[in-house]
Structure 1
Amino acid sequence: MKFEKKTISGILLIIVSILILIVPNILLNDSQGILNLCLTIISKICLFLFLGLVLLRLTRSFFWSYLILGTAYLLSSIIEISNIILLDHYITADNITSLLNASKSEVQEFYHLFRVYLVVPAVLIAAFIFIVIKYKSIAYNIKNQKLIIPLALIALVISIPVSFLRIYHSDKALSGKGLIDCTLRIDYLMDHPFNILNESYVFVKNSIRARKYKAQHDNFSFGILNQSDTQKPKLVVFIIGERMRYANWSINGYNRETSPNLEKIKNLISFKKNYSNSNFTYGSIPLIITQATPKDPTLAYSQKTIVTLFKEAGYETNWISSQYLFDIINEKNTPDHLYPLYARQHTDMDIIPLFDSVLNKKTPKNRLIIINMLGGHGGVPAKFNVFNPNDSHEDHPVTLSNAAIFINTYDNMMLFQDYVLSEITKMTERQNVSSVVMFTADHGCNLFDNGKALFGYGSANPTEKETHVPMFISVSDKYIENNHNKYKNLLDHRDLLTTNNNLFYSLADLANIKYKSFVKQQSISDPSFVEFPSRFVRADNKVFEFKNVKDNELNSGLAENASTKEDNTSKK
C-alpha cells in the first residue's frame, strides 16, 4: 500500500511538473475544442518525456534533468505566455525586433499597463522552484538503464502521430501542404518551446540579410527624371488586401452580391486576369511594393520600395498599417507618417476614421497613402454576417461537409471588405482633386473548389484560386481630365494577363513619375504595355511558371499546370 501511494505520488509529480511547463500550449488551444486540447496535452507531455529521458540517461539525475530541461521550458513559457496574453499568439521575429528596439518610455508604459499580468509567470516560477526542490530529494536508482532510451523513443513515437492526428483534424490538413512537413513545422518548430528559438533564428537571418544588402539599399536611388512635372495627381491611395481571391466578388461575376458598393463606384475598373506572384504573405509583399520578381527576389532588399519612389518624387508618404508587415521588409521608418493600427485590437472598420483624419490634414505636398488591411485575418462586424450559416458564433471543423459554412463566412468577409474599400474610395473622390485609388491582395485562397478537400493558402503547389486576386483601379473625374489616355489604356488592358509585378510600374505611371529603371511595357496605363506569355509564382522555395491561358481554359482549371525550378530563397 505504501509502495502504491509512493508510485502514485511520483506519477502525479511528473504530470504536474510537465503541465506547469506546457501552459502556453494549453492557452493557445483551450478554445479549439476538447479533442484538440487533449491531443495537444498528450503530444506535449510525450515530447517532454522524450527530452527528459534523454537528459536523464546523460545526467543520471532526476534533479539535474528537470532543472536543465525545465529552465529552458520555463524561459520559453514566460515569454510566450506574455505574448499570448497581450497578442493572442506566440512571439514572432517582429515582436523580438520591437522588444530589442523599445525605448525606456515604451518599457515603462508597458510595465504600467500590463504589470498585473506578471503574476502568471511569477506563479509559474514559484511552482517550478517548488518542484525542483522535490526532484532533488529523489534518488537515481534505476537498475536497468538500457531501457531509458527505448522509453524515450516510445514517447517520441507517441508524440508525433498524436500531433499528426491533431493537424489532420484541423484546417491545415486541407491546405495542400504536406501533412508531415506541416506537423513538424506547426506542432514543433513553431510551437512552444522551440518557437522562441525558431523566431530568434528568423530575426538573426533577417538582420544578416539586411546587413548584407545594407550598403546597396542605402545608396540606392530611383533617379526621378520629371521632378517638376505638374500633372502628378494630388492624391494616390494604394491598398493591399489580405487573403482575398478574385472569384468571390460579385463585381467580377460571382453569383452572390458581395460587392454591391464597389459596383456603384464611378470610374472603377476591375482587372480580369490579375495574379499574385506568391501564395503567402511573406512571399508576396516584397514583390508588390518593390521591383523584385519571383526570379529575382533579392531586389526587395538591395533596392527601395514604392514609398521611397514617391518620396523622391516630392510626395508626402503615409502608411496605415492594419497588419504588421515590417518584419517582412523593413519599411517602418520610411514613410513620413506611420499609423500602426496593428498595435491595438481592431478590425478593418477602424481604417475608415483614421483614413478620414489623414485626408483632412493640411499639406502643401501631393500625398501617397498606403493601406495594408487585415482582410481575411480580421474580424467581421455582426451586421455583415448576412450569409448563413457561418462560423461567427460557433467553431466548426474544417471539412468538405462544412464547405458551405466556410464559404458563407468568407463571403461575409468579402461583403465587409467591399464596404471598407468603397468608403475609402468615396472619401478620396470627395477630396475633389486629381486622385488614384489602386487595390489588390497579397494572395487568394482555396475554398473547397470543384468539390476538392482543399482549404486555405500557401500550398506547396500553388493553385489558381490562391494566386488569382482582384485588382481595382478607381480614378477621379479630375484625373481623367488631365490623363484621359491613361484611363483609356486601363480600360483597354483590363482583360489582359497582369500580375502584381506590374503594380510598381503602373502606380508610378499613373502618378506620372518617370525614373531611370522605369519599364513602360510593364505599366498597364501605358499604350505599349506587353502581356507576357507566362506568369511566375514563388512558393515553397521554387519558382512556378504558369502559361497564359484562354478564358475557357482558366474556368476549367487547366491553368493549374505549371513548370517549376528550384529557388534557394527560404520561405517562412
Structure 2
Amino acid sequence: MAHFSKIVRWIVSQEHLYFLFSLLLIVPNLVFFVTEPFSITVGIAAILIPLACVMWLLLVFKKPGIMVWLLLPKFILDGGQLILLYLFGESVVAVDMFLNLTSSNASEAGELVGNILVIILCVFFLYTLPTLYLAYRSVRLKDKLSQGFRKKWALVALAIFIAGGTSYVLTPDREQEVSFKKDVYPVNALYNLYFAIEKAGKNKRYHETSAHFTFNAKKDETSSKREIVVLVVGETSRAMEWSLYGYERETTPRLSKQDGLVHFTDVITQSNNTHKSVPIILSAASAENYEVIYSQKSIVTAFKEAGYKTVVIANQKLTTSMIGAFYREADHFIDLSSFKTGSLLTSFHDGAVLPYVDKVIKENAGNLFIVLHTYGSHFNYHERYPKEFSVFKPDKVAGIRAAYKKEMRNAYDNSILYTDYILSELISKLKQTGDCTSLVYLSDHGEDIFDDARARYLHASPIPTYYQLHIPYIIWFSDVFRTEWPEKYRWAVNHQSASVSTNSVFHTVLDLGGVSTSQSDSSFALTQPAFKVRDRMYLGDHDDPIPFWKIGLKELDFKMLDKWQLTYGER
C-alpha cells in the first residue's frame, strides 16, 4: 500500500507526468528498435527524433495532459501498431493493412477480432486507457509546468533532435535505401495511410479510368464442341499441405486420381493480400506493372469480347475492392455473400457454388467462361467444411494460440480435403458435358500456422514468410481438350516444375480458351512453348516490384524454400 501511495504522489506532479507522457508516446519506437533490421544509427535516430518532437508538443500547454488528449488519434494508431507487432513480430502498420479494413467482410473481421480480443483488451487496458486517465488527471490538476521548466526542456529536446538528425544523416549503410518517411514512426505509418487513401481513390475511379479500354479480343482457335473454361480462385491454401505435392496426409485423394491434371510445383504468389493477389490473377497486371490495373479491364471482359458467356460466382464479399469491380464486368455475377446464412459472422461452405455451376452449364448452350471465388481455407478453418469432412481430429479450434496448433492444423487439413472434393466435383460436372473443357485452380496466398520458432500465424503480414508464398496451382484438361489441342497439354506438363508466379494465370487461361488480346503474352502462358522463366517479383507495400527473396525472408524461410525445391535468386 505504501508503494501505491508513492506512485500516486509521483503522478500528481505535472513535471513527472511530462516525462511519463514523453515515454509513453514513443513506446512503439522503442519496440521497433528491437524488431526492425535497422542499422544502429537509423535505429537511434528513429527514437530520438520522435522523442524530441513529442517533448516539444507536450510543452505547448502548461498542462501536458491537454496535448495528450489532442493526440488521441496517435494513441489509437499506437495501440493498433502494438497489436500488429504482437501478431506479426515486426514492421510498421502497412498500406495493405489500412486497405484490408475496407475490403474485409463482417465474417472475416469477426473471426479475426474474436480470436485476438485478449491482446486488443490488453493493449487498451494496459496502455491506452491508463495513458488517457493520466492525461485526465493532468488536466484536472491545479499544478502547471513552470516557464523555466518549459524553456529548459525545449532546449533539451532541441539537443535530442540534433543528435537524432546527426545519427540519421551519418548512417553508413546506404544499401538500406534509408528514407525518413519509411523508417521513422509515426511518419511512416501516416505516409502509409496517405498512400492507402490515394490507392482507395484509384480503386473507386476504376470505372472512369478504364471506361474506354478494349482488349480487341478475338477467338483464334475454335473447338468442334462447346468450350468451357473454369477459373477457380482459392483462398489461403498452401501447397505444402496438399498430398498432391508430397504432404504425408491424404488431403487431396480425389485430385491425385484425375487424368489430365497437371500440378505446378514451384509457384510463388506475387502478394500475400487478397485485394492485391487476386487482381493480378484476373488481369494483365503484375508486380512489375501493377499500375495498369487502373486503366485496363479484367480477364472477364477479354472472354466476353471473344464471344464467351461470362459468369462469376463468389463465396466471399469482395464488392468493395478492385476484385468486385472486375467481377461486375461479367454477364452474370452471383454474390453468395449477399444471401442470408442466419448470421453476419458466418458464410456458406464452398459447396454452395456447385448448384449454380450446374444451372449455368445447363442453361447456356454456347461457350462459357466461369470464375469461382471460394472461401477455401480462410480462418476459422473448422468453419470451412461440413461435418463429414472432419477427418483429422481434434479439429475444434478454441482460438488462435500456439497451444492449439494441433487442432488448427487438423482443421486446416480438413479444409484442404474439402477443397479437393469441390474441385473434383467441378471436374466431374465438366466431364459429363462431353465438351472441350478445362479448369484452372490456384490460391491467392498461403498462411502461417505456428510453423516454426517465430510462432507466426495468419497472412497479410507486412513481411511474408515462405508459408504465405508457396501456393498450389493446377490445370485440368478434359479428354476432348487433349484430343483437340494436345500440344497445350504437353507444354503444360513440360513446364510442371518451372518457376512460376501468379502473373502467369491471365495469359495461360486466355490460351486455354483460344483467345488472343492486345495484352496477351505467350511467354507467360504455361501452355505455350514460348513460356519464359523470369526472376520472380513480389508486389511491395507501396506497389513496387521486389525480388521475392529480398522482401525480408529469414533463414527459416530459406530452409523451407530449399526443402520444397523452390527457385530463388537472380537468373
Q: TM-score range by the shorter chain?
A: 0.5 to 0.7
Alignment of 1:335-354 (within 5 A): 335-344=330-339, 345=341, 346-354=348-356
Residue among 479, 482, 500 paired with 1:480: 482
Q: Distance in 1 between matches of 2:477 and 2:568?
A: 36
User: Partner of 1:370 in structure 2?
Assistant: 371
Q: Distance in 1 between matches of 2:260 and 2:436?
A: 13
Q: Distance in 2 between matches of 1:29 and 1:466?
A: 17
User: Partner of 1:206 in structure 2?
Assistant: 200
User: Partner of 2:260 in structure 1?
Assistant: 267
User: Partner of 1:502 in structure 2?
Assistant: 504
Query: Does 2:212 correspond to 1:219?
Result: yes
User: Partner of 1:116 in structure 2?
Assistant: none
User: Partner of 1:525 in structure 2?
Assistant: 527
Q: Distance in 2 between matches of 1:439 and 1:209?
A: 26
Q: Distance in 2 between matches of 1:225 and 1:447?
A: 44
1:275 Cα shift?
A: 1.7
Residue among 401, 404, 407 paired with 1:405: 407
1:402 Cα shift?
A: 3.7
1:470 Cα shift?
A: 0.6
Query: How many pairs are equivalent?
Result: 406
Q: Deviations over 1:108-152 (max 9, x none)?
A: xxxxxxxxxxxxxxxxxxxxxxxxxxxxxxxxxx561649xxxxx
User: What secondary structure does 1:222 align onto?
Assistant: coil
Q: Which residue identity does 1:530 align to in structure 2?
A: K
Residue among 454, 457, 462 paired with 1:455: 457
Q: Distance in 2 between matches of 1:447 and 1:274?
A: 20
Q: Distance in 2 between matches of 1:427 and 1:308?
A: 25
CA spacing shift, 1:218–1:231, aligned 2, 3 Å: farther
Normalized against structure 2, the TM-score is what?
0.63
Residue among 263, 269, 272 paired with 1:276: 269
Contact 2:217 2:518 in 1 (8 A): yes
Q: Distance in 2 between matches of 1:540 and 1:232?
A: 45
CA spacing shift, 1:405–1:367, aligned 2, 3 Å: same
Query: Does 2:280 correspond to 1:290?
Result: no
Q: Which residue identity does 1:518 align to in structure 2?
A: S
Normalized against structure 1, the TM-score is what?
0.63
Q: Distance in 2 between matches of 1:435 and 1:471?
A: 17
Query: Does 2:391 correspond to 1:386?
Result: yes
1:291 Cα shift?
A: 0.7
1:546 Cα shift?
A: 3.8
Q: Which residue identity does 2:561 align to in structure 1?
A: L
CA spacing shift, 1:51–1:244, aligned 2, 3 Å: farther
Q: Deviations over 1:214-250 (max 9, x none)?
A: 5541111111244684568611110000000111011
Contact 1:458 1:539 in 2 (8 A): no
Cα RMSD (Å): 4.0
User: Partner of 2:398 in structure 1?
Assistant: 395
Q: Which residue identity does 2:142 align to in structure 1?
A: N
User: What secondary structure does 1:144 align onto?
Assistant: coil
Q: Distance in 2 between matches of 1:34 and 1:203?
A: 27
Contact 1:446 1:457 in 2 (8 A): yes
User: Partner of 1:316 in structure 2?
Assistant: 309
Q: Which residue identity does 1:369 align to in structure 2?
A: I
Query: Does 2:321 correspond to 1:328?
Result: yes
In terms of mean alpha carbon deviation, does 462-471 or 432-441 score higher?
A: 462-471
CA spacing shift, 1:237–1:490, aligned 2, 3 Å: same
Q: Deviations over 1:244-275 (max 9, x none)?
A: 01110111111000011111222111111122
Query: Does 2:563 correspond to 1:556?
Result: yes
Structure 1 alignment gaps of length 5 or more? 1-23, 58-141, 148-180, 190-197, 564-572
Query: Does 2:35 correspond to 1:42?
Result: no
Q: Which residue identity does 2:513 align to in structure 1?
A: A
Contact 1:220 1:303 in 2 (8 A): yes
In terms of mean alpha carbon deviation, does 326-335 or 500-509 score higher?
A: 326-335
User: What secondary structure does 1:206 align onto?
Assistant: helix
Contact 2:233 2:443 in 1 (8 A): yes
User: What secondary structure does 1:438 align onto?
Assistant: strand
Q: Distance in 1 between matches of 2:226 and 2:384?
A: 34
Q: Deviations over 1:452-491 (max 9, x none)?
A: 4222222333222211111111111111111111111111
Q: Distance in 2 between matches of 1:463 and 1:286?
A: 21
CA spacing shift, 1:357–1:51, aligned 2, 3 Å: farther
Contact 1:463 1:560 in 2 (8 A): no
User: What secondary structure does 1:409 align onto?
Assistant: helix
User: What secondary structure does 1:371 align onto?
Assistant: strand
Contact 1:319 1:337 in 2 (8 A): yes
User: What secondary structure does 2:536 align onto?
Assistant: strand
Q: Distance in 1 between matches of 2:111 and 2:263?
A: 40
Q: Which residue identity does 2:285 align to in structure 1?
A: A
Contact 2:223 2:484 in 1 (8 A): no
1:43 Cα shift?
A: 5.7
Q: Distance in 2 between matches of 1:518 and 1:202?
A: 30
User: What secondary structure does 2:211 align onto?
Assistant: helix
Contact 1:506 1:524 in 2 (8 A): yes
User: What secondary structure does 2:493 align onto?
Assistant: helix
User: What secondary structure does 1:449 align onto?
Assistant: coil
Q: Which residue identity does 1:355 align to in structure 2?
A: V
User: What secondary structure does 2:415 align onto?
Assistant: helix
User: Partner of 2:539 in structure 1?
Assistant: 538
Contact 2:237 2:443 in 1 (8 A): yes
CA spacing shift, 1:443–1:231, aligned 2, 3 Å: farther
Q: Distance in 2 between matches of 1:338 and 1:223?
A: 23
CA spacing shift, 1:220–1:50, aligned 2, 3 Å: farther
User: What secondary structure does 1:218 align onto?
Assistant: coil
Contact 1:243 1:442 in 2 (8 A): yes
1:360 Cα shift?
A: 2.1
Structure 2 alignment gaps of length 5 or more? 1-105, 146-181, 342-347, 551-557
Q: Distance in 2 between matches of 1:242 and 1:453?
A: 21
Contact 1:462 1:539 in 2 (8 A): no
CA spacing shift, 1:552–1:204, aligned 2, 3 Å: closer
Q: Distance in 1 between matches of 2:221 and 2:490?
A: 25
Contact 2:311 2:331 in 1 (8 A): yes
User: Partner of 1:144 in structure 2?
Assistant: 142
User: What secondary structure does 1:291 align onto?
Assistant: coil
